[in-house]
Amino acid sequence: MAEQPDFGRFDVLLLDIEGTVCPISFVKDVLVSPARLFIVLPASSTPLLLRLPLFVPSNAAEKKWLTFDGPFAQFPYALNVLPDFLAEQWDEPSFAGYRNAFPDDYRNDRSAFEAHVRDLVARDVKAPYLKALQGHLWTKGYESGVLKAPLFPDVPPFITNAHAAGKKIMIYSSGSVPAQKLLFAHTTAQPPDMSVVISDWFDTVNAGPKTDVASYTTILSHHPDISPARWIFLSDNLSEVDAARQSGMHSIPAVRPGNAPLPSHHPLSEFAVSEFTPASIAQAAAAIAAKTSA
């Protein structure tokens, strides 16, 4: 007999970020109109919303579609503000640590420094000192209100209601824990700070690679009082879903706007959820349990 859907049996909702609770795609099919927010989605780490003073003629179509491609789309905000930021902060003690982390050839010349940053971004070089600078600039952008992290519309009520029902909300992302906290503290939700309902945070440092079963076992070990069967992990990555399930957790794949289609040959693809509601999650979990136990 098939297991009946029951969202109440889950005590922990473990959530991926990119492609699960917010968009993963580069800037694609983006709605732009005067004084509106438009999405800027880096290929790695934090998705962002950026408010731009764009002018759309009154006779233009209501929808203006823009597509950005190439590695510069990963660093839109940082590259845009970099010249003014360097002009203001170059000799400030608070910037010295970021500046001195760069190679000797660039740390003493502002123009060379900026050119080096742009070169690294153009070549998609993931240098640690570049990531540190990126994080610093993004922090300032978030705190100023210029940057906001976009969440899919169903995510804030889903998380808020689950938290109100006594469930623990936890995050597991390849982005660092500090970046996760920054993202959830500055979202497009109302109120914008969603970090207050998150009870724990995991990344590839404190848990491990997201496709390794051992990483989910490590996460479970942080909360030994909660049975693995009371956990459910939501992710757009089937390899991550498989790894979580092998640890004893329940896990469901997500298909969200902008994601690539899931491979049809994978046995769990047919159970992917496209919206986050207690009913959809419970039904998918029950269907997967029935299929895998048959």
Could you give the percent of the chain with pLDDT greater than 90? Answer: 54
Range 189-207 average pLDDT = 94
Predicted local distance difference test score (pLDDT) of residue 293: 77
Q: Is the pLDDT of residue 45 over 70?
A: no
- For residues 120 and 173, membership in a common domain is answered with no
Whether cis (ω within 30° of 0) applies to the bond prior to 191 is yes
Predicted local distance difference test score (pLDDT) of residue 214: 98
Which amino acid type is present at position 16? D
Range 169-193 average pLDDT = 88
Predicted local distance difference test score (pLDDT) of residue 183: 85
Of 129, 147, 165, the domain-final residue: 147
Which region among 26-35, 44-53, 111-120, 273-282 has the lowest average model confidence (pLDDT)?
Answer: 26-35
Radius of gyration of the chain (CA): 21
What CATH number should be reported for the domain holding residue 157? Answer: 3.40.50.1000
The token pair at 14 is 């473990």
The token pair at 288 is 């997967």
- For residues 169 and 128, membership in a common domain is answered with no
d(CA 3, CA 287): 7
- For residues 84 and 201, membership in a common domain is answered with no
More confident residue, 134 or 273: 273
Tens of pLDDT, residues 156-166: 999 999 999 99
**Band of pLDDT at residue 206, cut at 50, 70 and 90:** very high
Would you give the distance in Å from CA 65 to the centre of its chain? 23
Of 89, 124, 147, the domain-final residue: 147
Could you give the percent of the chain with pLDDT greater than 70? Answer: 80
Q: Is the pLDDT of residue 68 over 70?
A: no
d(CA 209, CA 158): 26
- For residues 179 and 277, membership in a common domain is answered with yes
- For residues 141 and 163, membership in a common domain is answered with no
- For residues 18 and 64, membership in a common domain is answered with no
- For residues 43 and 93, membership in a common domain is answered with yes
**Band of pLDDT at residue 2, cut at 50, 70 and 90:** very low
Predicted local distance difference test score (pLDDT) of residue 6: 67
Residue range of the domain that includes 85:
30-147
Of 95, 122, 147, the domain-final residue: 147
Q: Is the pLDDT of residue 138 over 50?
A: yes
- For residues 73 and 175, membership in a common domain is answered with no
- For residues 190 and 280, membership in a common domain is answered with yes
Tell me the H-state helices in 123-233: 128-144, 155-164, 177-185, 213-221
More confident residue, 291 or 224: 224
Domain count, the chain: 2
d(CA 141, CA 49): 10
pTM: 0.73
Tens of pLDDT, residues 267-282: 999 999 999 999 999 9
- For residues 108 and 203, membership in a common domain is answered with no
Residue of 152, 193, 172 lying closest to 12 (CA atoms):
172
What CATH number should be reported for the domain holding residue 132? Answer: 1.10.720.60
Mean pLDDT in the chain? 80
